[in-house]
Structure 1
Amino acid sequence: MDREGKRIFPIDDKGFSLVELLVCIAIIALVFGPLLKNFLVSARVNAKAKKVQQETILAQNIAEDVKSKTFLEIASTYNDNTIVHGDKTIYTKKLIQDGKNKYDIQIIMDKDVYKEVNPDGDPVGYNNYKMPIITDINEIKNVIATENHETSMAITVLYNNYRWYREQTKTDTGYTVGEYSEDDVRINLSRDIQVTIRNLSGNIKVRVQAVYNCEAVPGSGSESYVLKETDYNRDMNGIYVFYKPILHDKVTIQKDSTITETMDLFLVSQDTDYGIVLDNPGFVPVYSNVSLTSPLVKKEAKTRLYDVTVKLFSAGADYETAVPCVTFHTTKEE
């Protein structure tokens, strides 16, 4: 300041004009708008994927519960409404709580699904197929591995793996993975029935497991189930594997070279029209009805399996018109 109190250098204290402020706001919106949009889209996709995963787990747990219960226990537990129509029984349970969400459950048990016939009209399903009555084969004299519901379980799991993967890879421009149905998984399903024979400190261990995958459907992954795992007594007669074939089937046999005993493997297929690929580097003797033209033993038909469909609906939904949140398939034995 000079001696009279006036500023030597004048200060511009007018501040920002309205135009300058609006320009700043516009620039900020242009820069941060897309970033905020991507963040919101990502949050929605992740939330939806997490919800699908939680609903799948809930449906799978209910399916496992149904499999573990007797038919009387099922009718007592899922008893809000029961409808019997021919070979099909439908059970209903309302308002099942899962975290913050509530659902209605519909369980459909159908034994008619396993009454298939081939183009010639011959029965090939588990419930009308005349299966062998084997009285000379028992767990004391043989290792017995039976494939029951594993294929239907694998189809459901692989399909839900694909659904979760499709949601996880979705971007703000849409899905990056094509749309596939559960039938696509079923048609392209591959299975490797792995028979492993190991020598563990002088004890022979036998493990039979089924490994499923579907390379045609991205993100479906693989699923495996142990059909049997037990000791093999040297006085036993052999290993029996009972299975219902699928289109892409393979049997892989691994046997430790230190095992000198002769061990026979018997593959019993429910449909002899299907062949099978055999990978047998240990040269284990294999016998199968796939290559035989005469029946093995006396046979009979009876109800053995039920197709189980678990449908998860939002609470209060109309079962006739609403689309289920999740549909889970499995099989229950009689």
Structure 2
Amino acid sequence: MKEYTERRQLNNEGFSLIELLIAIVILSIIVVPLLHSFVTSARTNAKSRNTMHATAIAEDVMEQFEAHTLEEMADTYEAATPTGFTNSVQKDASLDVDGDGAAEDGIWRYTFRDEKTTSGIYDVVVTLDPNGYTALNEKDIVNIQNLAGNLNAVYSESEDAAQEAYGYFEAYSGGRDVMEIARNTTKTIEISIDSSRILLDLGDGENVETDVYLVTASTVYHCNSAILTGISGDYPQNGTDYVIFSNEEAVRAKAAELKKQKESGNPVDAEEIISQLANIIVCLQPRVEATQSAVTSAVDKVIVNNPKNVQTNLFLVEQTPSAERIDSFTDESTGFNPYSSWNNNYKAAFELRETWPGWMSSAGASIDSACRLRTNLIDRSNTEYIFNDLSVSGAAGNAVGDVAKDIMGADGGLTPTERRNRIYDMRVQVYSRDTIGVQSPVLTMTGTVIE
């Protein structure tokens, strides 16, 4: 028997060089875009995180500037000592902010390092520019911010509040122009103060009695009926009382809160609900258009009725007309300049009415009124002052001029006017660490800040 041996031949040839190169090319075509996509995605994510952190920093900075004055922010940043960086503040400087080659005045620039984020350190430049708001910033404003709070009654009116009244009178004037209507129109603001006593239950048989206050205001425009036809001369849309202060509801709510605390076993202090009317603030918008010539009687009048002799302060604050309003009434053909006319001719009157039994006009200056007058109208020598004792009829109850001012304790020192920048364009630029002046900011955020 013949044996046959089967020989198996193995294929050991492998890939050829050409096949290997083709495989590498195919792999490159597939992998390289994927790698590029991964790199791009990583860079995008990093940039997004960077932008997100920068946005959070910029928003926080803007909130800080809205809550604090420029000086307070300067103190905050200049007091900080970050590692490897010196915070700096340029105060009220002249800088070229808009890049036109000319420096603008009044710029504030804060440069500081922010190390609050856990992912990195950023440098920040904040620029505040008031130059876009010159007309507003240069307006004289009475500083009464120290009177803020919930114990004050405030009356204010828009600068052009009289325009609707002029339009109403003009329709009955036989074609007279607005300037003549204004010259023949007077404005009276009337403030009325009322008080009453209420009894409050604090529980466990404890009661407390306190005063509560109601203050209302009304405005009446009256045009000389001699130049009108068919109407009495009063503007009908004015004259309705509206409330500018009322604290009875708040006092009762506070008493209910204290009673609830007491029922829970907590001690309470009844003095917490003793109410007060601290100040009445009247912001008077003078009508420059009504002062085209010297006037013999007041064009604007403020009357305060205080029959119960409530003790409070009245801040009568004459506001300075805006440039826009002065321009709107300037007449080059006649040479009428409302600003100079207002300064020279504007005449206002203030009258306080209280009740003082036993009043004698000859001894009127010996009493002090319950409502004390604080006003910048004292600077105007032609302002009229009247104190009227409601317990005496007719002229016998009146004190005028310096005697009235003495009775009311009239003082102009508490309502100073000031001129300064208040509104700014704000730009916050957030940079990566040590890149100010080298690279563009990661983020720029803009807004407006009112100090």
TM-score by length of 2: 0.32
Q: Which has the higher helix share?
A: 2
TM-score by length of 1: 0.42
**Which structure exhibits the higher relative contact order, with contacts defined as CA atoms closer than 8 Å and separated by 6 or more residues?**
1
